[in-house]
C-alpha cells in the first residue's frame, strides 16, 4: 500500500498510536492496520465493515479493536492468507513460540528462504505450563503474521499429541499439522518376561496377521538389505503395533474433520534409537492401513537435550540419518522430521547434505532469546527470573531429559549487569532457563510481557538473529 495514502486514511488516529507499516491493508473498501500505544497492540479498522469487529469506536468510522479470538476469526474472512495451510515445500521449519509474541521476528528470517514456516507450534505439555490453549497459540500467530504483512502461507502444528481430546481441540481451532506422539503406547520387549510377552501379544490387535505379513520380507534400500526375521518381526510388533494403531485412529478421526492436513508420527521421545527395521515397519503398517503420513520423527543416536547443541558422535548421527533418509526416499511421499529441542547446529550440515525433504522443529529457542533480551534490557527482572528458575528446577525438570549440573550454575550475585547475557553461552544455564518457563511465567508473567513490549526491537532482534543461524545452515 502507498505510504502516503495510508497516512491520509488514518490521519484521524490519535498520535499515541503507532502503526506497523507492513500491516497496512485494504479489502473491499475497508482499511486495516496493527498499531500500538504505550500499553498494548490493537487492530485498527476503518470502512463500511468496521462494525463487524469487536472494539470501540474511536472517531468517524475508525474502530480500535483488541487482538482477540473474535477479531482473529473475522479478519481471516477478509484476508484468507491468515488461515494456516498444509505444507507447500520440501523443507519446513517449526517455530515454537511459548510467549506468542515472536512471530514478527520469525517472519523476518523466513523471507527469501525456500522454507515453509510453521509459525504456530506448541505441545500439550507447553500449553499446560504456559496457560495457553491451541486456539490462543494460533490466534497469536495470526496477529503476528498480520503485523508483519506476511501472506505467503504458514502451518500450525499441534505437537506431541497423546490423546484424542487434544487432537479434537487442535482440529477445531484450525490446525493443519498434527504430530502424534507414540511414546506412551510403545512397549520395550526387553522389559518383559517371556510370559509377559505372550500376554502382551494377545492384546495387540491383529498381531498374528501382522506377523504373517512381515515375516521374511526383505527390503533392498541403498546398499543395505533389511530382513524381517522371526525375532525382529516379533520385536517390532510388540514395540510399535499398539502405538501405530493409536496413530491410525487419530488419522481417520482427522479425515472426518478436515480435508487436508499434515500428519506426523513421532517416535523420537523414547530411549532407544530407531532402527531401519523400526522405520520400515512403521511406514508399511501405516500404508497397509491406507494412511500416508507427511513426516516421521525417528529417535536418532545421541542426545537431543533441550536448549543445547547435539551431544554425541556426529558421524554416528550422520550414518543413522543417511539410512533413515534412504528409507524415506525409497517409500517416498513423506519427510524425515528432526525434533531438535533447539540449537542442534552440529548436525545441521549433515541434514543439509543428505536430505532434500525434511522438517525441523525448535522448542523453547525463541523463549530463551526473549529471556536474553530481558537480561539485556531489564537486568533486575532477569535476576529474579534466574532465582525463580533455581528454586523451581527440580519440579520443572520432570518430563524433560536433561543432564544439567546445578554445580555449574554460576552465582548471579557475582556477575555484573553487563555480563548477564554471557550466561546464555553456558549449556547448564541455558537448560535451567529453558525448562523452568512454567514457573517463571507463573510468577513474572506481567513483568515479562511488559518488558518485551517496551523493548520490542531488542526482543525481535535477539530472536531473529539467533534463528537466522539455524536457517542459514539448512536452506538448500
Residues with catalytic function? 159, 264
| Beta-sheet pairing, 91-95 with 358-362 | parallel
Confirm if 264 and 177 have CB atoms less than 8 A apart.
yes
> Could you count the other beta carbons within 10 Å of the beta carbon of residue 321?
23
The three three-digit cell numbers of residue 204, written as one number: 495387540
β 30-36/18-19 pair status: antiparallel
Q: C-alpha dihedral over 373, 306, 262, 175, to 10 degrees?
A: -50
Closest CA to 411 of 420, 398, 403: 420
> Could you tell me which of 440, 431, 301, 279 has the C-alpha nearest to residue 364?
431
Interior/surface letters 282-294, b for 16+ CB within 10 angstroms, e for the rest? bbbbbeeeebebb
Amino acid at each position: 500500500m502507498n505510504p502516503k495514502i495510508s497516512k491520509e486514511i488514518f490521519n484521524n488516529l490519535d498520535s499515541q498510536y503507532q502503526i506497523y507499516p507492513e500491516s497496512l491493508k485494504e479489502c473491499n473498501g475497508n482499511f486495516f492496520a496493527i498499531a500500538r500505544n504505550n500499553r498494548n497492540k490493537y487492530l485498527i479498522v476503518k470502512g463500511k465493515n468496521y462494525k463487524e469487529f469487536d472494539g470501540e469506536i474511536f472517531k468517524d468510522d475508525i474502530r480500535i479493536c483488541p487482538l482477540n479470538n473474535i477479531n482473529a476469526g473475522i479478519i481471516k474472512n477478509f484476508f484468507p492468507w491468515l488461515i494456516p495451510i498444509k505444507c507447500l515445500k520440501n523443507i519446513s521449519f517449526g517455530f515454537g513460540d511459548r510467549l506468542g509474541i515472536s512471530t514478527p521476528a520469525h517472519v523476518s528470517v523466513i523471507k527469501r528462504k525456500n522454507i515453509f514456516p510453521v509459525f504456530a507450534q506448541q505441545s500439550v505439555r507447553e500449553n499446560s505450563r504456559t496457560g495457553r490453549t491451541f486456539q490462543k497459540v494460533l490466534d497469536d500467530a495470526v496477529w503476528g503474521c498480520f503485523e508483519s504483512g506476511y501472506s505467503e502461507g504458514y502451518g500450525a502444528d499441534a505437537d506431541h499429541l497423546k490423546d484424542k481430546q487434544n487432537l479434537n481441540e487442535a482440529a477445531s481451532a484450525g490446525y493443519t499439522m498434527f504430530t502424534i506422539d507414540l511414546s506412551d503406547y510403545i512397549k520395550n520387549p526387553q522389559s518383559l518376561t517371556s510370559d509377559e510377552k505372550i500376554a502382551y501379544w494377545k492384546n495387540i490387535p491383529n498381531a498374528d496377521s501382522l506377523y504373517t505379513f512381515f515375516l521374511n520380507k526383505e527390503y533392498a534400500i541403498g546398499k543395505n538389505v533389511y530382513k524381517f526375521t522371526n525375532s525382529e518381526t516379533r520385536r517390532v510388533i510388540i514395540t510399535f503395533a499398539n502405538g501405530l494403531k493409536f496413530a491410525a485412529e487419530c488419522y481417520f478421526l482427522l479425515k472426518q474433520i478436515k480435508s487436508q492436513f499434515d500428519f506426523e508420527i513421532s517416535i523420537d521421545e523414547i530411549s532407544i534409537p530407531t532402527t531401519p527395521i523400526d522405520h520400515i515397519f512403521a511406514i508399511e503398517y501405516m500404508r497397509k492401513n491406507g494412511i500416508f503420513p507427511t513426516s516421521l520423527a525417528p529417535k536418532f543416536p545421541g542426545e537431543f537435550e533441550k536448549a543445547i547443541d547435539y551431544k554425541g558422535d556426529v558421524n554416528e548421527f550422520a550414518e543413522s540419518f543417511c539410512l533413515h533418509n534412504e528409507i524415506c526416499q525409497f517409500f517416498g511421499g513423506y519427510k524425515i522430521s528432526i525434533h531438535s529441542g533447539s540449537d542442534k547446529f552440529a548436525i545441521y550440515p549433515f541434514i543439509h547434505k543428505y536430505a532434500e525433504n525434511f522438517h525441523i522443529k525448535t522448542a523453547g529457542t525463541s523463549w530463551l532469546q526473549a529471556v536474553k533480551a530481558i537480561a539485556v534490557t531489564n537486568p533486575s527482572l532477569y535476576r529474579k527470573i534466574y532465582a525463580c528458575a533455581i528454586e523451581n528446577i527440580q519440579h520443572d525438570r520432570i518430563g524433560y531429559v536433561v543432564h544439567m549440573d546445578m554445580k555449574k550454575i554460576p552465582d548471579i550475585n557475582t556477575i555484573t549487569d553487563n555480563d548477564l547475557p554471557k550466561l546464555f553461552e553456558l549449556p547448564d544455564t541455558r537448560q535451567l532457563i529453558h525448562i523452568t518457563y512454567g514457573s517463571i511465567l507463573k510468577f513474572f508473567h506481567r513483568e515479562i510481557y511488559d518488558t518485551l513490549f517496551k523493548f520490542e526491537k531488542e526482543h525481535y532482534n535477539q530472536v531473529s538473529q539467533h534463528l537466522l543461524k539455524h536457517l542459514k545452515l539448512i536452506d538448500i
